[in-house]
Amino acid sequence: MHLSGLVCHQLGFARPGRKPVLDMLQARFAPGQATLISAPTGTGKSTLLHLLGGLLRPTSGEVWADGQPVSRWPAPHRDRWRRQVGMVFQHLNLVPDLSVMENVLLPCIPTASSYTALIQRAGALLKQLDLPAAGRESLQTLSGGERQRVAIVRALITRPRFLLMDEPTSFQDDDGTASLLILLAEAAADDACVVVCSHDVRLRDETRLFGQKLRLHPSRLEPDP
């Protein structure tokens, strides 16, 4: 399977003794395109993103990334591949004892990127999302919306090939949402594969950015009109 981007091939996931969360799912998320996936709570949106990002292994089927069967790989290989992935989790997964800048730079530890260039990029992204560019603040002093924007910057800092976001506007006002949409458009223009799971109507109404809008059911993804 040599398609670029992320491909789900008969993808399934089930917890032991429970009915499948996802079953025989077929989908492709192309580079240079932003995809919005909507579904009711509990349908499996977060599970799908964790499978696409290599944090979970499917119980059936496969995930391929740029022609590579990443879901087949053992954990150490998936960990190395995941350096190409930027994720915003629904529960953010920030480190409370670290500053804003330290949280943002965490994904950069395994890379050989210039520290000065990373600081400059982090500062520019923080400023674009209406956060102090220096990033010296403690997370304890930030609101929920500000913490979510820190998590967004952390996902973007390495210019990931695959950008996966779970409800990234749940704590954002209209201005914060508009700023995020600009960053997503920039990532897609840079040939990233962008997948956003959300039931935010502001995103569902966005027609210019999301070239693909899908609705998730346990056994299928279908166009969301």
In a domain, 51, yes or no: yes
In a domain, 155, yes or no: yes
Residue 96 clears pLDDT 90, i.e. is over it: yes
Structure confidence at residue 1 (pLDDT):
62
Structure confidence at residue 17 (pLDDT):
84
Rounded to whole angstroms, how far apart are CA atoms 20 and 35? Answer: 24
Average pLDDT along the chain: 93
Q: Which domain holds residue 204?
A: 6-223
Structure confidence at residue 219 (pLDDT):
72
Mean pLDDT throughout 185-212?
94
Burial of 152 (0-12, 13-18, 19+ CB in 10 A): buried
In a domain, 185, yes or no: yes
Q: Specify the number of domains making up the chain.
A: 1
Rounded to whole angstroms, how far apart are CA atoms 138 and 140? Answer: 5
Structure confidence at residue 112 (pLDDT):
61
Mean pLDDT throughout 53-68?
96
pTM check: above 0.85: yes
Structure confidence at residue 115 (pLDDT):
82
In a domain, 1, yes or no: no
Residue 189 clears pLDDT 80, i.e. is over it: yes
- 3-class DSSP state of 160: coil
In a domain, 82, yes or no: yes
Rounded to whole angstroms, how far apart are CA atoms 63 and 92? Answer: 24
Rounded to whole angstroms, how far apart are CA atoms 147 and 94? Answer: 8
Which position has the higher pLDDT, 17 or 113?
17
Residue 39 clears pLDDT 90, i.e. is over it: no
Token pair in block for residue 37: 């996936």
Residue by residue, DSSP assigns 62-118 as EEEETTB-GGGS-HHHHHHHGGGEEEE-TT----TTSBHHHHHHGGGTTS---HHHH
Closest to 134 in 3D by CA, of 105, 93, 173:
105
Q: With bands split at pLDDT 50, 70 and 90, how would you rate the model's confidence at 143?
A: very high
pLDDT, tens digit (0-9, with 9 covering 90-100), for 76-95: 999 999 999 999 999 999 99
In a domain, 218, yes or no: yes
- Cβ–Cβ under 8 Å, residues 159 and 84: no
pLDDT, tens digit (0-9, with 9 covering 90-100), for 110-142: 766 688 889 999 999 999 999 999 999 999 999
Rounded to whole angstroms, how far apart are CA atoms 50 and 53? Answer: 5
The helix-helix angle for 144-156 and 115-128 (nearest 10°) equals 140
In a domain, 180, yes or no: yes
Question: Per this entry, what is the length of the chain?
Answer: 225
Token pair in block for residue 114: 């210039």
Mean pLDDT throughout 26-54?
93
- 3-class DSSP state of 31: coil
| CATH code of the domain containing 155 | 3.40.50.300
In a domain, 40, yes or no: yes
